[in-house]
Amino acid sequence: MTRPIDHVLSRLSQYDGAPIRLMEVCGTQTAEISRHGIRHLLPPGIQMISGPGCPVCVTVTAYVDRLVWLSRQENTTVVSFGDLFRVPGSRESLSEAKASGGHAVMVYAPSQMLTMARQQPDHQFVFAAVGFETTAPIYAGMIRRAKEEGLQNLKFLTSLKTMPAALRWICDHEPDIHGFLAPGHVCAVTGIQDYKQIAKEYGIPFVVSGFSAQELLAAIYALVCLQGKGELRNFYPSVVRPEGNPMAQSAVQEIFEPCGAAWRGIGRIEGSGLRLREEYREFDALSDGLDEDVGKNQHCQCARVLLGEILPTECPLFGTACTPATPQGACMVSAEGSCFHYYTSERGR
Protein backbone atom coordinates (compact mmCIF):
# COMPACT_ATOMS: atom_id res chain seq x y z
CA MET A 1 0.00 0.00 0.00
CA THR A 2 1.35 3.46 -0.90
CA ARG A 3 1.95 5.63 2.15
CA PRO A 4 0.62 9.23 1.96
CA ILE A 5 4.18 10.56 2.26
CA ASP A 6 5.26 8.51 -0.77
CA HIS A 7 2.34 9.88 -2.74
CA VAL A 8 3.32 13.47 -1.87
CA LEU A 9 6.98 12.82 -2.68
CA SER A 10 6.03 11.29 -6.01
CA ARG A 11 3.88 14.32 -6.93
CA LEU A 12 6.63 16.71 -5.84
CA SER A 13 9.24 14.84 -7.86
CA GLN A 14 7.13 15.34 -11.00
CA TYR A 15 7.21 19.13 -10.63
CA ASP A 16 8.38 20.66 -13.89
CA GLY A 17 7.03 24.20 -13.59
CA ALA A 18 9.01 27.43 -13.28
CA PRO A 19 11.57 27.46 -10.44
CA ILE A 20 9.99 28.49 -7.16
CA ARG A 21 11.40 29.53 -3.80
CA LEU A 22 9.44 28.80 -0.63
CA MET A 23 10.32 30.27 2.75
CA GLU A 24 9.82 28.93 6.25
CA VAL A 25 9.80 31.53 9.01
CA CYS A 26 9.98 29.38 12.11
CA GLY A 27 13.17 28.17 13.79
CA THR A 28 11.68 24.79 14.65
CA GLN A 29 10.65 24.27 11.02
CA THR A 30 14.18 25.22 9.94
CA ALA A 31 15.56 22.60 12.31
CA GLU A 32 13.10 19.89 11.24
CA ILE A 33 13.50 20.56 7.51
CA SER A 34 17.25 20.03 7.93
CA ARG A 35 16.90 17.06 10.25
CA HIS A 36 14.56 15.24 7.85
CA GLY A 37 16.72 16.13 4.83
CA ILE A 38 13.70 17.65 3.12
CA ARG A 39 15.69 19.97 0.85
CA HIS A 40 17.32 16.91 -0.65
CA LEU A 41 13.99 15.23 -1.33
CA LEU A 42 12.72 18.13 -3.44
CA PRO A 43 13.28 18.45 -7.19
CA PRO A 44 15.68 21.17 -8.40
CA GLY A 45 12.78 23.48 -9.32
CA ILE A 46 11.61 23.81 -5.71
CA GLN A 47 13.94 25.54 -3.29
CA MET A 48 13.30 25.86 0.44
CA ILE A 49 14.90 28.87 2.10
CA SER A 50 14.95 29.90 5.73
CA GLY A 51 13.62 33.29 6.76
CA PRO A 52 13.89 35.31 9.96
CA GLY A 53 12.19 32.76 12.20
CA CYS A 54 14.91 32.11 14.76
CA PRO A 55 14.49 34.54 17.68
CA VAL A 56 18.14 34.58 18.68
CA CYS A 57 19.28 35.03 15.06
CA VAL A 58 17.14 38.13 14.46
CA THR A 59 18.31 39.82 17.67
CA VAL A 60 20.59 42.74 16.84
CA THR A 61 24.14 43.26 18.09
CA ALA A 62 23.18 46.30 20.19
CA TYR A 63 20.99 44.04 22.30
CA VAL A 64 23.89 41.64 22.99
CA ASP A 65 26.09 44.65 23.82
CA ARG A 66 23.49 45.88 26.32
CA LEU A 67 23.43 42.46 27.99
CA VAL A 68 27.21 42.51 28.22
CA TRP A 69 27.10 46.01 29.73
CA LEU A 70 24.42 44.98 32.24
CA SER A 71 26.45 41.94 33.28
CA ARG A 72 29.23 44.29 34.35
CA GLN A 73 27.04 46.48 36.54
CA GLU A 74 27.45 46.23 40.27
CA ASN A 75 25.08 43.91 42.13
CA THR A 76 23.47 42.77 38.86
CA THR A 77 23.19 39.39 37.17
CA VAL A 78 21.98 38.80 33.61
CA VAL A 79 19.82 35.72 33.24
CA SER A 80 19.48 34.11 29.83
CA PHE A 81 18.81 30.98 27.86
CA GLY A 82 21.88 29.18 26.58
CA ASP A 83 21.75 30.15 22.90
CA LEU A 84 22.02 33.85 23.57
CA PHE A 85 25.12 33.38 25.70
CA ARG A 86 27.41 32.71 22.73
CA VAL A 87 26.02 35.22 20.22
CA PRO A 88 28.83 37.63 19.31
CA GLY A 89 28.30 41.26 20.23
CA SER A 90 30.26 44.08 18.66
CA ARG A 91 33.22 43.22 20.89
CA GLU A 92 32.33 40.18 22.97
CA SER A 93 29.57 37.73 23.76
CA LEU A 94 27.83 37.35 27.10
CA SER A 95 29.78 34.18 27.64
CA GLU A 96 33.08 36.02 27.06
CA ALA A 97 31.92 38.80 29.38
CA LYS A 98 31.23 36.21 32.06
CA ALA A 99 34.67 34.68 31.60
CA SER A 100 36.21 38.08 32.26
CA GLY A 101 34.21 38.94 35.38
CA GLY A 102 30.66 39.73 34.14
CA HIS A 103 27.74 38.26 36.05
CA ALA A 104 25.49 36.03 33.96
CA VAL A 105 23.68 32.76 34.56
CA MET A 106 22.01 30.38 32.15
CA VAL A 107 18.53 29.04 32.85
CA TYR A 108 16.32 26.49 31.14
CA ALA A 109 12.98 28.02 32.14
CA PRO A 110 12.21 31.71 32.72
CA SER A 111 10.44 30.83 35.97
CA GLN A 112 13.84 30.03 37.50
CA MET A 113 14.47 33.77 37.56
CA LEU A 114 11.47 34.36 39.81
CA THR A 115 12.94 31.89 42.28
CA MET A 116 16.34 33.62 42.18
CA ALA A 117 14.74 37.03 42.66
CA ARG A 118 12.78 35.79 45.70
CA GLN A 119 15.83 34.15 47.25
CA GLN A 120 18.16 37.17 46.83
CA PRO A 121 16.00 40.28 47.31
CA ASP A 122 19.04 42.60 47.55
CA HIS A 123 20.45 41.55 44.18
CA GLN A 124 19.23 42.78 40.77
CA PHE A 125 18.36 40.23 38.06
CA VAL A 126 17.85 41.11 34.39
CA PHE A 127 16.24 38.57 32.12
CA ALA A 128 17.15 38.51 28.42
CA ALA A 129 13.62 38.32 27.05
CA VAL A 130 13.89 37.56 23.34
CA GLY A 131 11.36 35.68 21.27
CA PHE A 132 8.21 35.82 19.22
CA GLU A 133 4.49 35.59 19.96
CA THR A 134 5.09 32.10 21.35
CA THR A 135 7.27 33.18 24.28
CA ALA A 136 5.61 36.54 24.98
CA PRO A 137 2.80 34.90 27.03
CA ILE A 138 5.41 33.23 29.27
CA TYR A 139 7.12 36.57 29.95
CA ALA A 140 3.71 38.18 30.49
CA GLY A 141 2.91 35.57 33.15
CA MET A 142 6.25 36.18 34.90
CA ILE A 143 5.84 39.95 34.91
CA ARG A 144 2.29 39.77 36.22
CA ARG A 145 3.48 37.44 38.98
CA ALA A 146 6.40 39.71 39.85
CA LYS A 147 4.03 42.68 40.12
CA GLU A 148 1.60 40.74 42.32
CA GLU A 149 4.44 39.69 44.63
CA GLY A 150 5.94 43.19 44.67
CA LEU A 151 9.35 41.94 43.48
CA GLN A 152 11.55 45.00 42.97
CA ASN A 153 14.78 43.29 41.97
CA LEU A 154 13.81 41.81 38.63
CA LYS A 155 13.85 43.45 35.23
CA PHE A 156 13.52 42.40 31.59
CA LEU A 157 15.62 43.49 28.64
CA THR A 158 12.99 42.89 26.00
CA SER A 159 13.51 42.20 22.32
CA LEU A 160 10.19 40.61 21.49
CA LYS A 161 9.15 40.39 17.88
CA THR A 162 5.86 39.79 16.11
CA MET A 163 5.83 38.13 12.74
CA PRO A 164 3.15 39.75 10.53
CA ALA A 165 4.90 43.12 9.96
CA ALA A 166 8.18 41.31 9.21
CA LEU A 167 6.44 39.11 6.65
CA ARG A 168 4.95 42.18 4.99
CA TRP A 169 8.46 43.65 4.85
CA ILE A 170 9.75 40.48 3.19
CA CYS A 171 6.89 40.47 0.68
CA ASP A 172 7.67 44.12 -0.15
CA HIS A 173 11.42 43.66 -0.51
CA GLU A 174 12.03 40.07 -1.60
CA PRO A 175 9.90 39.51 -4.70
CA ASP A 176 11.35 36.09 -5.52
CA ILE A 177 9.54 34.22 -2.77
CA HIS A 178 6.57 32.28 -4.03
CA GLY A 179 5.03 30.96 -0.84
CA PHE A 180 5.44 30.73 2.91
CA LEU A 181 5.18 27.98 5.46
CA ALA A 182 3.35 29.93 8.15
CA PRO A 183 4.83 29.40 11.62
CA GLY A 184 2.79 26.70 13.36
CA HIS A 185 3.70 27.56 16.94
CA VAL A 186 3.12 31.28 16.44
CA CYS A 187 -0.23 30.65 14.75
CA ALA A 188 -1.27 28.45 17.69
CA VAL A 189 -1.11 31.63 19.81
CA THR A 190 -2.19 34.32 17.35
CA GLY A 191 -4.53 32.43 15.04
CA ILE A 192 -4.40 32.66 11.27
CA GLN A 193 -6.25 35.85 10.35
CA ASP A 194 -3.14 38.04 9.91
CA TYR A 195 -1.58 35.49 7.58
CA LYS A 196 -4.78 35.09 5.61
CA GLN A 197 -4.80 38.85 5.10
CA ILE A 198 -1.14 38.99 4.02
CA ALA A 199 -1.71 36.12 1.58
CA LYS A 200 -4.62 38.03 0.06
CA GLU A 201 -2.81 41.40 -0.07
CA TYR A 202 0.27 40.02 -1.80
CA GLY A 203 -1.24 37.19 -3.81
CA ILE A 204 1.17 34.71 -2.18
CA PRO A 205 0.06 31.38 -0.69
CA PHE A 206 0.59 30.54 2.98
CA VAL A 207 0.23 27.07 4.49
CA VAL A 208 0.25 26.55 8.25
CA SER A 209 2.32 23.46 8.87
CA GLY A 210 3.23 21.06 11.64
CA PHE A 211 6.72 19.73 12.11
CA SER A 212 6.88 16.08 11.07
CA ALA A 213 8.39 15.18 7.70
CA GLN A 214 4.97 14.18 6.43
CA GLU A 215 3.36 17.44 7.58
CA LEU A 216 6.13 19.58 6.12
CA LEU A 217 6.11 17.80 2.76
CA ALA A 218 2.32 18.00 2.54
CA ALA A 219 2.47 21.74 3.26
CA ILE A 220 5.20 22.25 0.64
CA TYR A 221 3.16 20.35 -1.92
CA ALA A 222 0.13 22.49 -1.09
CA LEU A 223 2.22 25.64 -1.65
CA VAL A 224 3.26 24.29 -5.04
CA CYS A 225 -0.37 23.62 -5.97
CA LEU A 226 -1.47 27.08 -4.76
CA GLN A 227 1.10 29.01 -6.85
CA GLY A 228 -0.15 32.49 -7.76
CA LYS A 229 -3.08 32.33 -5.34
CA GLY A 230 -3.34 34.60 -2.32
CA GLU A 231 -4.81 31.92 -0.09
CA LEU A 232 -4.05 30.30 3.22
CA ARG A 233 -4.52 26.68 4.20
CA ASN A 234 -4.31 25.38 7.74
CA PHE A 235 -2.63 21.97 7.67
CA TYR A 236 -2.10 21.94 11.43
CA PRO A 237 -5.68 22.13 12.74
CA SER A 238 -5.01 19.82 15.69
CA VAL A 239 -2.96 22.64 17.25
CA VAL A 240 -3.83 25.83 15.35
CA ARG A 241 -7.36 27.13 15.71
CA PRO A 242 -8.42 30.01 13.46
CA GLU A 243 -8.78 32.33 16.45
CA GLY A 244 -5.57 31.13 18.15
CA ASN A 245 -5.31 31.05 21.94
CA PRO A 246 -7.41 33.92 23.39
CA MET A 247 -6.09 33.42 26.92
CA ALA A 248 -2.46 33.79 25.80
CA GLN A 249 -3.39 36.78 23.62
CA SER A 250 -5.08 38.57 26.49
CA ALA A 251 -2.11 37.92 28.84
CA VAL A 252 0.21 39.50 26.27
CA GLN A 253 -2.12 42.45 25.64
CA GLU A 254 -2.35 43.17 29.36
CA ILE A 255 1.43 43.48 29.80
CA PHE A 256 2.77 44.53 26.37
CA GLU A 257 1.92 46.99 23.62
CA PRO A 258 3.04 47.05 19.97
CA CYS A 259 6.18 49.02 19.08
CA GLY A 260 8.82 49.26 16.38
CA ALA A 261 11.61 46.68 16.58
CA ALA A 262 15.02 46.21 14.97
CA TRP A 263 15.61 42.92 13.13
CA ARG A 264 19.04 41.66 12.15
CA GLY A 265 19.38 41.95 8.40
CA ILE A 266 16.31 44.13 8.03
CA GLY A 267 16.53 47.09 10.41
CA ARG A 268 13.64 48.70 12.24
CA ILE A 269 10.13 47.67 11.26
CA GLU A 270 7.27 49.63 12.77
CA GLY A 271 4.69 47.52 14.59
CA SER A 272 6.87 44.41 14.64
CA GLY A 273 7.76 44.34 18.32
CA LEU A 274 6.32 44.33 21.82
CA ARG A 275 7.32 46.57 24.73
CA LEU A 276 6.12 46.80 28.29
CA ARG A 277 3.05 48.95 28.85
CA GLU A 278 3.44 52.05 31.00
CA GLU A 279 1.88 50.27 34.01
CA TYR A 280 4.63 47.63 33.85
CA ARG A 281 7.55 49.79 32.67
CA GLU A 282 9.15 49.49 36.13
CA PHE A 283 10.27 46.03 34.97
CA ASP A 284 12.06 47.34 31.90
CA ALA A 285 15.88 47.25 31.78
CA LEU A 286 16.56 50.03 29.22
CA SER A 287 15.19 48.09 26.25
CA ASP A 288 14.54 51.05 23.93
CA GLY A 289 16.79 52.23 21.10
CA LEU A 290 18.73 49.01 20.55
CA ASP A 291 19.04 49.20 16.77
CA GLU A 292 22.75 48.97 16.00
CA ASP A 293 23.69 45.76 14.22
CA VAL A 294 27.40 45.67 13.49
CA GLY A 295 28.88 42.38 14.63
CA LYS A 296 32.44 41.62 15.70
CA ASN A 297 33.17 39.78 12.46
CA GLN A 298 32.24 42.13 9.63
CA HIS A 299 32.39 39.29 7.10
CA CYS A 300 29.50 37.41 8.74
CA GLN A 301 26.61 37.19 6.27
CA CYS A 302 23.83 36.42 8.78
CA ALA A 303 21.81 39.38 7.55
CA ARG A 304 21.64 37.94 4.03
CA VAL A 305 21.13 34.37 5.24
CA LEU A 306 18.11 35.50 7.27
CA LEU A 307 16.45 36.94 4.18
CA GLY A 308 17.15 33.88 2.06
CA GLU A 309 19.41 35.93 -0.22
CA ILE A 310 22.24 33.44 0.17
CA LEU A 311 22.49 29.92 1.54
CA PRO A 312 24.67 29.48 4.64
CA THR A 313 27.13 27.52 2.51
CA GLU A 314 27.64 30.61 0.35
CA CYS A 315 29.07 32.57 3.28
CA PRO A 316 32.88 32.56 2.90
CA LEU A 317 33.31 31.79 6.60
CA PHE A 318 30.97 28.79 6.66
CA GLY A 319 32.72 25.67 7.92
CA THR A 320 36.12 27.38 8.06
CA ALA A 321 36.34 30.32 10.45
CA CYS A 322 32.72 29.77 11.45
CA THR A 323 31.58 26.47 12.96
CA PRO A 324 29.34 25.67 15.95
CA ALA A 325 32.52 25.58 18.06
CA THR A 326 33.73 28.95 16.73
CA PRO A 327 30.54 30.83 15.77
CA GLN A 328 31.05 34.19 14.07
CA GLY A 329 27.36 35.03 13.90
CA ALA A 330 24.07 34.27 15.61
CA CYS A 331 22.90 31.91 12.84
CA MET A 332 25.70 29.47 13.72
CA VAL A 333 25.07 29.69 17.48
CA SER A 334 21.39 29.05 17.77
CA ALA A 335 19.85 25.60 17.72
CA GLU A 336 17.27 27.18 15.43
CA GLY A 337 19.77 28.94 13.19
CA SER A 338 20.09 27.90 9.58
CA CYS A 339 23.92 28.05 9.50
CA PHE A 340 24.00 25.72 12.50
CA HIS A 341 21.68 23.26 10.77
CA TYR A 342 23.45 23.41 7.44
CA TYR A 343 26.63 22.60 9.33
CA THR A 344 25.27 19.86 11.61
CA SER A 345 22.64 18.17 9.39
CA GLU A 346 23.07 19.09 5.77
CA ARG A 347 26.79 18.91 5.06
CA GLY A 348 27.71 15.92 2.97
CA ARG A 349 24.13 14.98 2.13
CB of 171 to ligand SF4, least distance (A): 23
Q: Which residue is at the shortest CB distance from ligand SF4?
A: 329
Residue with smaller CB distance to ligand SF4, 66 or 86: 86
Q: Interaction with ligand SF4 in 99-118: which residues (CB under 6 A)?
A: none
- Contacting residue, 54, 170, 252, 332, with ligand SF4 by CB under 6 A: 332
Q: Taking contact as CB under 6 A, which single stretch among the options 61-69, 71-79, 219-227, 298-306 is the one that binds ligand SF4?
A: 298-306
Structure-derived torsion over alpha carbons of residues 338, 7, 22, 216, reported in degrees to the nearest 10? -50
Q: Can residue 151 be called a binding residue for ligand SF4 (CB under 6 A)?
A: no
For CA atoms 225, 227, 233, 238, give the dihedral sign: positive
Distances (CA, A) of 238 to 83, 140, 195, 242: 30, 25, 18, 11
63 and 201 Cβ atoms separated by less than 8 Å: no
d(CA 349, CA 328): 24
Three-state DSSP at 103 gives coil
Among 188, 191, 317, 336, binds ligand SF4 (CB under 6 A): 317
> At closest approach, how far in Å is the CB of 313 from ligand SF4?
8
Q: Does 124 bind ligand SF4 (CB under 6 A)?
A: no
31 versus 332: smaller Cβ distance to ligand SF4: 332
Q: Is 312 in the site for ligand SF4 (CB under 6 A)?
A: yes
- Maximum pairwise Cα distance, the chain: 67
What CA–CA distance (Å, rounded) separates 327 from 112? Answer: 27
Q: What's the Cα-to-Cα distance from 80 to each of 8, 77, 167, 188, 291, rounded to whole Å?
A: 41, 10, 27, 25, 20
> Should residue 306 be labelled a site residue for ligand SF4 when binding is judged by CB under 6 A?
no
300 touching ligand SF4, by CB under 6 A: yes
Q: What is the binding site for ligand SF4 (CB under 6 A)?
A: 300-302, 305, 312, 315, 317-318, 322, 328-329, 331-332, 339
